[in-house]
Amino acid sequence: MAITRRQKEVIDFLSGFTTKNGYSPSYEEIASGLGLNSLATVHKHITNLQNKGLLQRAHNRSRSIDVLPPRTNKKGFERLPLLGRIAAGQPVEAIETAESISLGDIIGNREVFALEVRGDSMRDEHIVSGDYVLVERTRTAREGEIVVALIDGADATLKRFYREGSMIRLQPSNAEMAPIYAPAANVTIQGKVLGILRKYS
């Protein structure tokens, strides 16, 4: 059954919200997230998507929406053969070893989401605008890890994490940029970076 563009936006919002917060959104939160002014519209969307089998919910229950996993699925596209190592310095051999790699190798068992990077503050780490960072949702981080941090509950940023007494230092990896210092109480860790994914057009 076909899905409309708007319906995809609704689905993506729902699964994003649930992943981010750990609970499903209310209709009002959905409405404001999608720029809608009427709960009736939200309700209609949810009902349509439920009829299409893309999500489940209990009648008249608050925050009871479950996005169903996308139907399975393309044939084995997810795991790539790893043919060997290539020298990006001196040209060396590309050996055809029989390993493989997939997103699952990065993700493991963890709860992971992706963020698109804007800006250059991690340039010296070779993370640049347009890259997708794969982030494990955790509330803690260890010294020196790259984290997604929320400062004063408002601004999300991608930096290396250091603890200095009762203060947190969020260190950009860009020689031209200064670190951010903030009281530990004002910094919320939203996750730590497990990997990155880059797509060339």
Partner DNA sequence: GAATTGTAGCGAATAAAAAGCGAATTGCAA
Partner DNA sequence: TTGCAATTCGCTTTTTATTCGCTACAATTC
**Which residues make up the interface to DNA (CB under 7 A)?**
4-7, 26-28, 31, 34, 36-48, 57, 59-65
Question: Of 134, 140, 142, 86, which is closest to residue 111 (Cα–Cα)?
Answer: 134
Which CB sits closer to DNA, 47 or 97? 47
Which of a second copy, DNA, none does residue 70 bind (CB under 5 to 8 Å by kind)?
Answer: a second copy
Q: Shortest Cβ distance from residue 6 to a second copy (Å)?
A: 9
Q: Shortest Cβ distance from residue 99 to DNA (Å)?
A: 16
Which CB sits closer to DNA, 8 or 118? 8
Which of DNA, a second copy, none does residue 101 bind (CB under 5 to 8 Å by kind)?
Answer: a second copy
Which of a second copy, DNA, none does residue 147 bind (CB under 5 to 8 Å by kind)?
Answer: none
Catalytic residue list contains 121: yes
Question: Of 128, 101, 134, 139, which is closest to residue 115 (Cα–Cα)?
Answer: 134
d(CA 117, CA 148): 11
Beta bridge partners of 55: 67
Which CB sits closer to DNA, 4 or 129? 4
Q: Which residues have C-beta within 8 Å of that of residue 144, sequence separation ≥ 6? A: 160, 161, 162
d(CA 186, CA 195): 26
Q: Shortest Cβ distance from residue 55 to a second copy (Å)?
A: 10
d(CA 84, CA 99): 8
d(CA 105, CA 68): 23
Which of a second copy, DNA, none does residue 164 bind (CB under 5 to 8 Å by kind)?
Answer: none
Which CB sits closer to DNA, 64 or 100? 64
Peptide bond preceding 48: is omega within 30 degrees of 0, i.e. cis? no
Of the residues 121, 166, 192, 201, only one is catalytic, namely 121
Q: Shortest Cβ distance from residue 11 to a second copy (Å)?
A: 8
- 182 backbone dihedrals φ, ψ, rounded to 5°: -150, 150
- 115 backbone dihedrals φ, ψ, rounded to 5°: -135, 140
Which of DNA, a second copy, none does residue 117 bind (CB under 5 to 8 Å by kind)?
Answer: a second copy
Q: Shortest Cβ distance from residue 29 to DNA (Å)?
A: 7
8-state DSSP, 122: T
Q: Which residues are catalytic?
A: 121, 159
